[in-house]
Homo-oligomer: A and B are copies of this chain.
Amino acid sequence: MPENTFEADGERVLADLNALRAIGAYKTGVHKPTFSEPHLRSLAWLTERLAEAGLTGSIDGIGNVIGTSARAGPKLLAGSHLESQNHAGWLDGPLGVVYALEAARVINSDPSVHGAVEVAAWCDEEGHFGHFLGSRSYVGLVSEAEIDAARDRTSGRTMREALREAGLAGRARVTAEPGRHVGYLEAHIEQGEALESGGLAIGVVTSIVGIWQYRIDFTGEQNHAGTTRMAIRKDAGLALARFCVAIDDRFPRACGPRTVWTTGRITLDPGAPSIIPGRAEMLFQIRDDDPAVIDRLETLLRTMAAEASAAGPCGVAVERIRIGHPATMDPAFQDAIEAAGKSLADGRSIRMPSGAGHDAQVLATIMPAGMLFVPSIGGVSHHWTENTEDADIVRGARVFVEACRRLLRERDGRPRAAPAP
């Protein structure tokens, strides 16, 4: 039992997280792609816990779970996601959902608080079928046509089929009720090593970086790997390799202090050992919280492609396939997290941008939003070895609940009541 009845119960938080880890376990992590059986079972698990916590919620027509409270007063929305990347970690997503659930349990029964925490699990934050489909649906940015076109990037299964098989086809999609929430708070593992290497416990997120994503195509000439002399080859794969190396050489001179860029996928066509690839493709992304830096790098990228095409022997074409603008976290939310960290984490917090995308950036388009990070061991993420010390998980939960309380109290318009004994 926690010392204070209206504080997060660390053991309950750990038990909940381990219960979710047991659903779709893979080594020490989980494998819960969107709309997989373990993902759906995790959503069902959550709706049961919401009911126990006095919230009303079910799975909506896009796979979101939103638990609402009948309690009077301001409402704070809190949550994250329950699906995982393929064969990935147990905390990426569930941590924020369980913190939100715990906050609802504690705060909504705290007589010193006027108002309630409501809980969300956004579907497909990990982008198996699209990007931020669940939270974007909630803020009204997903059309039926987008759902018609969405397919699982691994299996190719359509989203319509997945919804049908999950029994969700035809259900309404819940969208935000204007003015209902004072804002949105999300907790997440850092997924980097800044907190751990600084001996810190809490990250106060200032902004979520923008992600610009590109498909870069190389066109050469497909030919026989044995009979075509080196001098006359137009090897699209080699052109791609040279381009990757050129990016790595030239981007550092043009980037900002926190810019990152990644080639995550390479495909040679036809991809056979005895055929010189006639086409090659790379998926490339740039992240920064300063749009001016990204603009500068995109210009450089296009210049480099033009130079490479002019030099030959292969053509290089850059196509931007996704823009995610940077999102600023609400200053009052940052202050509330920092203040909670002062009292419950010895002030071992730091203000920092998020290099990863999160549903909070989508919610930030319609309400004030904030994010709290806890440390990741070794900075490992998107891998089944991803982990966080139990003590950091428990400490993070306490800070999160306290931040929720502070945010609701600031907005209830009533004089502060003393905490119950």
- Point out residues on A near B: beta carbons under 8 Å: 85-87, 127, 153, 190-193, 209, 211, 213, 222-230, 232, 235, 237-238, 240-242, 244-245, 248, 252, 258-268, 270-278, 283, 285, 287, 354-357, 379-383
Contacts and interface: CB of A to CB of B under 8 A. Distances in A.
Contact of A260 (B228, B287, B382): B228
Given A224-B381, A264-B273, A268-B265, A252 B230 contact: yes
B85 A275 contact: yes
Task: Give the 3 A-B CB pairs with smallest separation, nearest first.
Answer: A192-B227, A241-B244, A226-B355
A127 B265 contact: no
B244 A238 contact: yes
B223 A380 contact: yes
Given A223-B383, A379-B223, A248 B238 contact: yes
A61 to B, nearest CB: 26
Given A193-B232, A241-B244, A383 B265 contact: no
Contact of A273 (B213, B244, B245, B272): B213
Contact of A225 (B222, B238, B271, B285): B285
A87 B47 CA distance: 51
Contacts of A85: 272, 275
A289 B87 CA distance: 45
A258 B229 CA distance: 7
A191 B240 CA distance: 25
**Most B C-beta atoms less than 10 A away, residue of A190, A261, A266, A379:** A266
Given A86-B270, A240-B241, A241-B244, A262 B383 contact: no
A265 B271 CA distance: 5
27 contacts: A86-B270, A86-B272, A87-B270, A127-B274, A191-B227, A223-B383, A224-B355, A225-B260, A225-B262, A226-B354, A227-B356, A227-B379, A227-B381, A237-B264, A238-B245, A241-B263, A262-B274, A262-B276, A264-B271, A264-B273, A264-B277, A265-B268, A265-B272, A266-B268, A266-B271, A273-B285, A274-B356
A21 B232 CA distance: 29
A324 to B, nearest CB: 10
A395 B419 CA distance: 100
Nearest to A275: B382
B355 A192 contact: no
Contact of A382 (B223, B241, B263): B223
Contact of A211 (B226, B277, B285): B226
A1 to B, nearest CB: 35
Nearest to A240: B241
Contacts of A258: 229
A228 B241 CA distance: 22
A242 B267 CA distance: 16
Nearest to A224: B381
**Most B C-beta atoms less than 10 A away, residue of A230, A268, A382:** A382
A382 B222 contact: yes
Contacts of A235: 262-263
A175 to B, nearest CB: 27
A226 B274 contact: no
B248 A244 contact: no
B285 A274 contact: yes
Contacts of A192: 224, 227-229
Contacts of A229: 192, 258, 260
A237 B263 contact: yes
Given A193-B232, A263-B238, A264-B268, A226 B276 contact: no
A164 to B, nearest CB: 26
A156 to B, nearest CB: 15
Nearest to A267: B266
